[in-house]
Chains A and B, each alone.
Chain A
Amino acid sequence: MLKIIHFVLAIVIILPVYAFALDGTKLLREIDRNLSPESYESYRKLINIEPDGAKREFTLFTVKKGIDKVASVFLAPASEKGRSTLRLGDNMWLNIPNVGKPIRITSLQSVVGGVFNNADILQLDYATEYDVSKVEEEDAGYLLHLKAKTKTVAYDQIKIRADKQKKLPTKIECLTEAGMLIKTLYFKDVKDFGGGLVRPAVIETDSPLYKGYKSVMIMAKVKKRTFKDEVFTLTFMPNLESLR
């Protein structure tokens, strides 16, 4: 009889915990989908702001398909126009029209300088590269602790603060394996892009490694679109602008 009472008590205590525990992976996938459709096209302006206020701007057209394919082409300034970047999983390439052939680049480099690196510019879904190790529920939102699935991912750990209602990130901290802060991304200006996509239009970033510097990414015309796999190949890189 005592055993039965213990069993019933255990069920009564444990079941609600399981029933209402947050499914971190599901939540992360929801955040990914709220940020962008799985396959889409978008325009972005990147602004690097120096401590003295001087700015440098880049405009890119970006296409993404599925969980591991993303490509971008620079539209401005004139010195960068026609440069294109491609990411297939962990592989990244840069094609410079004059040099002619795509060269392999690394996720920690930056084709635009500033605080954003190539992994930020050619961003895949967070759920593709990270596992959720812990979720904390706070008053206004969630705090997700993510851990990189492989060593090839740019940041070993990520902390995402997300709005509870909108399930959109408000702040992301990128950390090394030792927990050192590399950069912080701030998501601002939530905007309706049409097609049911409501997401932050501005991402600001700063880094203790680049004191006084700031980089900003402004999104425009983010819309769902499907592409053939052949778009995401080295051979297609010089033709990316034809997709506009």
Chain B
Amino acid sequence: MSSNKEIGFDILENSDLDSVEEIGTDNMNIDKNARDRMLKITMDKYSAASGKQMNSQKVPETMEYAEQVSGTEMIQHRRLSRIIGFAACSAAAVALIAGGMFLYKHNASPENTVSDPAGEVIVTTAAESTATEPESEGIDVNANYIFMNPYTDRTDITQEELDAACMRYLDSLSKDRSEIWDIGYSFNDINHDDIPELFVRYSANGGGGEKMFVYDGKEYKSAHFNSSVSEHETVENNIGGDVINICPEKNLIYVSTEDIFTGHNFSKILWLDKRNTAATAFELNDSGYYIGGVRDYKLSDPNDTEARDKFEASYYLYNWQDLEYTPYDEAGENTKKTETTKPEDDNKSNGALITDSLFIAENPDTDRTDITQEELDAARKRVKEDWYNTDELEDNDMEYAYADVNGDGIPELFIKEYTLSHGYVQSMLVYTGEEYRGAYYYIDFKGSKHNDIDGAYFGQIGGNIDVYGNIMICPEKNLIHLNEGGDDLGTILKFEKGNIMKTLYKYSYDVCYEGGVEVSHSVETADRFQAALDSCNWQELEYTPFD
């Protein structure tokens, strides 16, 4: 057992005022209902104590506690007032967006969905809302679910200009994001404005996806839309996901992402007007199924398929196409990453490999010699039970592998889990004699900044860092190859008996170490690192699903 003191977030309780402010007084979630309730309580107490009768009419009536506590949402389909006057001009959206709404015409058949293939947006304002009813099956897209992307009025744009803009973006993507490869691009004019939208496909560590960009007259910019968090709450998101389909005849884009932990499908059908304005026509997420921003079906049970069925019914109304991508620089730099992690042949020289380091982390160890596989299996099962994120989503897709990297007869445990942002990520754990604990290695970044797999800052302090990322092993040399993504180009660790972890190489864009000594980031050091990699026979771990 660890001799460390235990600490939890409850240590932050009973703080002094300075600490309370440091924790962040704006971090609390106080919604309008809670605010109104507390104001009413305040005024009631003040009136009772002072004898002064405050005007209670000014204090809004509040929701009942029971509704809040149970988490039951008030189901008030505040359908916005019916659309009356039409202005068949999407440019008007700019002026009308605040008080107005889009009408996305939709009937039950594809033929009736959008009468004009060019897809005019039909707009009105609240002030105009006094006349006749629109077509009965029209969909009102709430103004909150409209996102105005950058666009251009230029009419002199050539395909060469767009090709150049596309390449500029892809070059920067390839250069700045070492964890992305297998990039492809596709031009498609979804909104019929004669300026094709750009779609980019990419692979990332264990994942990948597709993403859409719009041209602003100079560059291709990431396209966005407004997505439902819950009814009446939106959040701005990129138009990107696991899969994008298009329906140019109706100006539609379908984007879908599957959360494999929960099985929730996050899908949307977006309509794009000539000014690159995206309207969220249909959306499926973990809170339900939405039409034009209004929840049509609330999802309360994860096993309920009704919302998905409804969304799929909308999806199948249209004639969808897969995107056809042109590979970007097939033989070039962007494939370098995959090559570096390929197992190399055994005959290569190992003369370049450093075998010692100033950076040493002593992981927990045991002297016991009576450890059985049954004991380790039991400990492994406890790892799953205690996994740090089991209260969230990610415990449904965990796999494990044993491998005795340091040759001490006690196999290390490796866990592979799925993360939404980065696909599969692996962790290494060592056996303490009682339990498996996360393994770590030491690094001292001194004053250098380093971005980890999430782009989070990880600098100025040295310390022990989890062995967490893409892991390959070379048991014959007691080595681990770790790639954390982000700015990290790779780490080679030596794991010796006694669970001693030595950081032999650390290569990132910002800082490089060999044997715990900082070295410059140069062609020579890169060659040495590559030679070190090539000198080992790296093995992928073979993972088994948990019981």
B is a partner of A:
no
Chain B residues within CB distance 8 Å of chain A:
none
